Structure 1
Amino acid sequence: MSFKTLRRAGVLAGLLAALAACGNDQTRDPIFEAAYTGFFQKSDAASPQGLTDEVIAQTLAATDLPVILLRINARNSEAIAAQIERNGEHRTYGTAERQAIVLRHGMITGTRGLGGDLMSVEEDALLRLVRGRGIGNVAYVQRFLTAEDVTREISYRCNVEPDERVDLAQGRIRAGVTEMLAACTSEDGKPFVDYYMVDGSGEILGSRQWLGETTGYVTMTQLQK
Structure 2
Amino acid sequence: MRWSLIAVASLLGLTACGNSQDGFEGYDAIRQYVRAQTAPPPQPLTRAMIGDFTDPLLYAALPSRNAEAFLGIAMVDGPIVTWWTQNQVALILRDGALIGTRGLGEDLMASSAPDLRVARGTSRRINQYIGPDDTTLTLAWACEVTELGMETVALLGQAWTGKRVDETCDGSAGKLVNSYWLDRDGSIRQARQWVSPSVGYITIQRLID
TM-score scaled by structure 2?
A: 0.77
**In structure 2, how many angstroms separate the alpha carbons of the residues matched to 1:105 and 1:75?**
26
Give yes or no for contact 1:175–1:199 (8 Å, CA) kept in 2.
no
Structure 2 residue runs of 5 or longer lacking an equivalent are 14-36
Question: Which residue identity does 2:45 align to in structure 1?
Answer: T
| SS of match in other structure, 1:61 | coil
**Structure with more strand by fraction:** 2
Match for residue 77 of structure 1 among 58, 67, 79:
67
What residue number does 1:210 align with?
194
2:141 & 2:97 partners in 1: Cα distance? 16
Alignment of 1:86-97 (within 5 A): 86-97=76-87
- After superposition, what is the alpha-carbon deviation per residue over 1:126-165, rounded to whole angstroms, capped at 9, x for unaligned? 2x2x223x53010111000011111101111111101121
The one-letter amino acid paired with 1:215 is: V
Within 5 A, what are the aligned runs for 1:125-204? Answer: 126=114, 128=115, 130-132=116-118, 135-167=120-152, 170=155, 176-187=161-172, 189-204=173-188
| Residue 59 (structure 1) aligned to one of 32, 50, 54 | 50
Deviation at 1:171, TM superposition (A): 5.8
1:40 matched to 2:30: no
Equivalent pair of 1:172/1:224 in contact (CA under 8 Å) = no
TM-score (norm 1): 0.72
Identity of aligned residues (%): 23
> Higher helix proportion, which one?
1
- Tell me the alpha carbon deviations over residues 4-35 of structure 1, each in whole angstroms, 9 at most, x when there is no partner: xxxxxxxxxxxxxx8xx97xxxxx78xx35x1
Structure 1 stretches of at least 4 aligned residues deviating more than 6 Å after TM superposition: none
> Is this contact kept in 2: 1:168–1:175, CA < 8 A?
yes
Once the two structures are TM-superposed, the CA of residue 201 in structure 1 deviates from its matched residue by 1.4
Contact in 2 for aligned 1:172/1:223 (Cα 8 Å)? no
Structure 1: segments with no counterpart, 5+ residues: 1-17, 23-27
Q: Following the alignment from structure 2 to structure 1, what is the Cα–Cα distance between the partners of residues 156 and 199? A: 25
Equivalenced residue count is 185
**Cα pair distance change 1:83/1:212, threshold 3 Å:** same
